[in-house]
């Protein structure tokens, strides 16, 4: 623990090396006012670079997102690329207020390091940047985005030369290179790097979109549109421009966006938390859906890599589908219409529903589970295809992330939204609904219910609490949870050498319950949370709605019992 004099010295050194006068002043004022607790949060550590890049609140300090951190991070990335990769880097950014400056700093440092850069001059969806990197054979890509994090945050996401997000050992090598970088003010940087005289190449959005649309169309089972009415929101993010064009070109003229949330606005004025999973985030789009008599409600998160779906409940209200329901419905639709000669491959993350395995079994598809994060899904797909297992068709994770085909090696809420519309339109043509299809799928593949409990513990003390809870779970595990026997435990912190590379060592514990259910516990990789996941099989006969509700209630009780056991 740093004492006040050590903390003050560290802060002064950071101020001296910070090229941004605004953040220098911010820290100077905290020092002058002797705000030691705040300085401990800002300067007590560094924003750690990992497989998700970096993400945090936009404030001054080594443990925050700011220009000094972005510049040093990019210098480390540039050092790694010069040693280990060759080729250009693609850079894109979202609509958060700090994103254009962070992107310009990123481009400027890369150019000064002698690395060719292609960049999007305006905010663009993350899937479009990932697509561009893969399509152009980039050595790497950087997206400045905090995705669905709170308005105060921003982030820095890195893609590798295979078009997927970085994984070990690349993340560690980049982190080590960042640690060797000196003060940000000493890092060479091209000024006005995104100005009219920049040597960086400005990417043409229309050209990229045209190629992206062709590749999306190539993996769609349905090639016609529909008069179906859809309400949509990008939640103040960057999705509407691309999504509107995509669905219009596909023959869907009746898609209307929430006027208050349609245009990019990094302040997110109508929502407290711009995540479609959060309570209230879908209220405006569901209200719009009711006003226009929509058949379907869709939402992308602010960088458009996630997709949320709500269906009419029949009483004038809307029923959100869970991420797992969306995932198994899309998988079922794509496998049912698979016309390839290779065996189809479907993949989900380990905290997503085991039901995908039973859906795959129905169609004779190959199923695989990976560690949490689309970087693992994408790399597993590449490995399995290289091994001759088959052709990757679909992957998902329960946190509303989906990818259809291999044109984007990350989650893509845009193409997933269009394909879900195709699914709903095809059912509508048959006189059926998505709810009908879900009930039918339960009967064919088995009913599974999933629930999640997130325990939020912010700040450095919260990090310590979460770490302590995971240590306790490693030392002792429950014999029963809500009356169900725990029949086996798998601790992913050990035994990685016996698993494929997409299931490496991780801070994750899985407990198998009698009857085939399971509980997983892990810290979030991007937020100050400990997450508990429960998956339970249920009866798929008789009243499906009642069976689903009763099974979900049991899963909720098991999640609560798990939280009580670990002391959070």
Interacting residues of 208 by C-beta distance below 8 A, sequence separation 6+: 128, 131, 132, 135
H or E segment and range at residue 299: strand 296-300
Give the whole-angstrom CA distance, residue 32 versus residue 51: 36
Classified as helix, coil or strand, 202 is strand
Buried b (16+ CB within 10 A) or exposed e, 153-185: bbbbbbbbbebbbbbeebbebbbebbeebeebe
First-last CA distance in the chain:
24
Query: What stretches of 52-96 adopt beta strand conformation (E)?
Result: 54-57, 89-93
**Secondary structure of 320-360 in HEC code, one letter for each residue:** ECCHHHHHHHHHHHHHHCCCCCCCEEEEEECCCCCHHHHHH
H or E segment and range at residue 242: helix 239-249
- ∠ Cα 445 401 148 (to 5°): 145
* Residue listed under structure tokens 């939280």: 563
Give the whole-angstrom CA distance, residue 148 versus residue 282: 13
Q: Which of 147, 161, 198, 415 is catalytic?
A: 147
Classified as helix, coil or strand, 273 is coil
Give the whole-angstrom CA distance, residue 120 versus residue 125: 10
Question: For the chain, give me the number of helices (H) and strands (E)?
Answer: 17, 21
H or E segment and range at residue 382: helix 374-386
The answer to whether 361 and 343 have CB atoms below 8 angstroms apart is no
Token digits for 76?
Answer: 């480390």
Give the whole-angstrom CA distance, residue 60 versus residue 125: 27
Interacting residues of 310 by C-beta distance below 8 A, sequence separation 6+: 282, 285, 286, 289, 296, 297, 318, 319, 320, 321
Token digits for 86?
Answer: 């060759």
**Number of neighbouring beta carbons within 10 Å of residue 38:** 14
- CA distances to 213, 329, 347 from 336, in Å: 23, 10, 16
Give the whole-angstrom CA distance, residue 342 versus residue 351: 27
CA atoms within 13 A on the CB side of 161: 10
Give the whole-angstrom CA distance, residue 450 versus residue 224: 34
147 is catalytic: yes
Beta bridge partners of 397: 401
Give the whole-angstrom CA distance, residue 473 versus residue 285: 41
Give the whole-angstrom CA distance, residue 442 versus residue 427: 16
The residues assigned a catalytic role are 147
């Amino acid at each position: 623990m740093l004492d006040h004099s050590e903390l003050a010295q560290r802060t002064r050194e950071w101020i001296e090396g910070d090229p941004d006068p605004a953040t220098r002043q911010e820290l100077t004022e905290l020092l002058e006012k002797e705000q030691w607790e705040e300085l401990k949060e800002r300067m007590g550590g560094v924003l750690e670079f990992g497989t998700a890049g970096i993400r945090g609140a936009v404030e001054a300090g080594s443990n925050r997102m700011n220009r000094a951190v972005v510049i040093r991070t990019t210098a480390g990335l540039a050092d790694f690329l010069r040693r280990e990769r060759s080729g250009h880097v693609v850079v894109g950014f979202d609509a958060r207020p700090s994103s254009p400056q962070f992107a310009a700093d990123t481009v400027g440092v890369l150019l000064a390091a002698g690395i060719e850069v292609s960049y999007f001059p305006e905010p663009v969806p993350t899937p479009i940047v990932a697509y561009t990197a893969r399509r152009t054979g980039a050595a790497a890509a950087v997206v400045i985005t905090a995705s669905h994090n709170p308005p105060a945050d921003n982030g820095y996401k890195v893609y590798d030369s295979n078009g997927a997000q970085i994984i070990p050992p690349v993340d560690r090598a980049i982190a080590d290179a960042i640690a060797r970088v000196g003060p940000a003010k000493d890092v060479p940087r091209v000024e006005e790097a995104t100005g009219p005289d920049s040597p960086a190449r400005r990417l043409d959005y229309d050209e990229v979109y045209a190629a992206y649309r062709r590749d999306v169309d190539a993996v769609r089972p349905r090639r016609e549109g529909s008069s179906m009415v859809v309400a949509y929101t990008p939640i103040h993010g960057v999705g509407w421009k691309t999504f509107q064009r995509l669905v219009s070109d596909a023959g869907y003229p009746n898609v209307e966006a929430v006027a208050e949330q349609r245009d990019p606005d990094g302040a997110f004025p109508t929502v407290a938390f711009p995540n479609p999973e959060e309570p209230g985030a879908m209220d405006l789009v569901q209200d719009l859906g009711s006003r226009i008599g929509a058949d379907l409600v869709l939402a992308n998160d602010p960088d458009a890599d996630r997709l949320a779906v709500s269906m009419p409940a029949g009483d004038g209200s809307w029923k959100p589908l869970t991420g797992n329901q969306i995932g198994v419905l899309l998988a079922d639709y794509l496998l049912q219409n698979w016309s390839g000669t290779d065996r189809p491959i479907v993949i989900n993350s380990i905290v997503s529903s085991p039901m995908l395995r039973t859906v795959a079994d129905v169609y004779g598809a190959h199923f695989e589970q990976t560690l949490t994060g689309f970087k693992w899904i994408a790399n597993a797909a590449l490995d399995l295809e290289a091994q001759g297992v088959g052709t990757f068709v679909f992957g998902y994770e329960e946190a509303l992330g989906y990818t259809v085909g291999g044109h984007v090696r990350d989650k893509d809420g845009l193409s997933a939204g269009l394909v879900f519309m195709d699914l709903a339109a095809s059912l509508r043509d048959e006189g059926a609904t998505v709810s009908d299809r879900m009930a039918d799928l339960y009967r064919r593949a088995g009913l599974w219910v999933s629930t999640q409990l997130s325990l939020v513990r912010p700040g450095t003390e919260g990090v310590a609490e979460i770490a302590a809870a995971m240590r306790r779970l490693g030392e002792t595990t429950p014999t029963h949870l809500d009356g169900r026997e725990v029949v086996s435990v798998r601790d992913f912190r050990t035994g990685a050498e016996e698993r494929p590379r997409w299931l490496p060592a991780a801070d994750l514990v899985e407990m198998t319950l009698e009857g085939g259910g399971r509980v997983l516990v892990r810290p979030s990789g991007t937020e100050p949370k400990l997450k508990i996941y429960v998956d339970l099989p249920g009866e798929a006969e008789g009243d499906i709605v009642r069976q689903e509700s009763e099974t979900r209630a049991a899963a909720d009780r098991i999640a609560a019992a798990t939280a009580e056991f670990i002391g959070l």
